[in-house]
Amino acid sequence: SIMGTIATIWQGNVMIGLTIFMAMTISITLAGFIATSVPMLLKKLKIDPAIASSVFITASTDIIGFFSFLGIATFFLQYLV
């Protein structure tokens, strides 16, 4: 990821770049999975996906992105300091 490389160069610490790279990769991968599965699930539940899916997708991807970054940063905290 470009942002991970920029963070590594900017801060001079490979672990910061690795943390950002891993968090972004997890977030993007799971966002793609959620963005495809939620509308299909809502359609099976006879709920209009055009109306309801954007709320679920936005909330879930924000939560996953936030907690993936914090979880990875907590894991690498001993190497970041």
Residue 63 has pLDDT above 80, yes or no: yes
Helix (H, G, I), strand (E, B) or coil at 23: helix
Whether the CB-CB separation of 21 and 1 falls below 8 Å is answered with yes
pLDDT score, position 59 = 92
Place of tokens 């990821």: 1
- pLDDT score for 32: 92
Residue with the two structure tokens 């924000």:
62
- Terminal-residue alpha carbon distance, the chain: 22
Question: Mean of the pLDDT values across residues 14-39?
Answer: 91
